[in-house]
Amino acid sequence: MPKEILEMPIETATMELPDTKTIRLKWPDGHNPDFKTGQFITVYWPDTPAYKRAYSLSSCALDRGFYEVTVKRDGKMGTRIVDWAKAGDKLFVIPPVGKFLPVYEPDKHLVCIAGGSGVTPFRGFAREATRRKLETKITVLYSIRTPADIIFHNEFRELEKENPNFKFHVTCTRALPEHNWTGRAARITSDWVKEIATDLPNTVFYACGPNALVEFAEHLVIHELGVAKEQMKTEKWG
Ligand SMILES: Cc1cc2nc3c(=O)[nH]c(=O)nc-3n(C[C@H](O)[C@H](O)[C@H](O)COP(=O)(O)OP(=O)(O)OC[C@H]3O[C@@H](n4cnc5c(N)ncnc54)[C@H](O)[C@@H]3O)c2cc1C
């Protein structure tokens, strides 16, 4: 049976950064869908039903009663959501689909490469693993321009404290002296990934976000590190 498209009100709209907003879409009463962490929903506004856009879930499958997506101000839909979407507005939601799924096996290490807003599904990965107290290791390698661009910084640090198997590593490519950034300050390199992924046969790589970032990560993992394609999952946003 085809999954039902439902109209959902925005319960909360939270600015994460000046150009990035999380909207929480409330499920109707009695709705209890089966979906997986890492999938994406497709949304459209009631006044423009032909204009549909996909958004990765930044919440996880254990979060019930709502979906959360985290959107950057970019293009028509991205700008409309970030600049205009507010609590009480309604969006139509096509149910979650997608194969960008965390492999939650105890001996696996998930190395998640992200740039900018591409980090959002990894919040879901880390949340579910932490709540379920899983042994699966998850490491996020997050490249952003300056420390002010880190999305969900506090939550990722909290998850790190709660979950000994989760690590959140940030590199800032354009930090200025006034940012007082003392961490890593270079692009993601194969040497850095090798330091993190010490057991390549048991590592699953993930990369998500704008095509350029995902293609960069694919090149690094598959061509520079020689990892088999089957060990990498990607989600290209366009
Ligand atoms: C599976 C999937 C998951 C996704 N998840 C997320 C997510 O979690 N968060 C998120 O923020 N996005 C996500 N996206 C991207 C999202 O679907 C939208 O594409 C994005 O919000 C931009 O909105 P738009 O497509 O209406 O932009 P459009 O208006 O169609 O523009 C597309 C691109 O072209 C550029 N552009 C438009 N006009 C011009 C012009 N005149 N000159 C130069 N450049 C121009 C825009 O800046 C934009 O980058 C995802 C995409 C996919 C496929």
Element (H, E) at 234: strand 232-236
Range of weakest confidence among 63-67, 139-143, 182-186, 225-229: 182-186
pTM of the complete model: 0.96
Span 165-201, pLDDT tens digits: 999 999 999 988 888 999 999 889 999 999 999 999 9
12 and 93 part of one domain? yes
Rounded to whole angstroms, the Cα distance separating 199 from 136 reads 13
Looking at per-residue pLDDT, the higher value among 141 and 176 belongs to: 141
| Cβ < 6 A, ligand 1 pocket | 40, 53-56, 69-72, 74-78, 117, 120, 235, 237-238
Q: Which atom of ligand 1 lies nearest, measured to the CA of 98? A: 1
Q: Whose CA is nearest to atom 15 of ligand 1?
A: 237
Q: Given this model, what pLDDT does residue 1 score?
A: 46
Q: Which atom of ligand 1 lies nearest, measured to the CA of 120? A: 8
127 and 179 part of one domain? yes
192 and 134 part of one domain? yes
50 and 119 part of one domain? no
The overall average pLDDT reported for the chain is 96
Q: Is the pLDDT of residue 2 over 60?
A: no
Rounded to whole angstroms, the Cα distance separating 166 from 2 reads 36
122 and 149 part of one domain? yes
Q: Given this model, what pLDDT does residue 3 score?
A: 75
Q: Domain residues for 87?
A: 6-97
Q: Whose CA is nearest to atom 9 of ligand 1?
A: 71
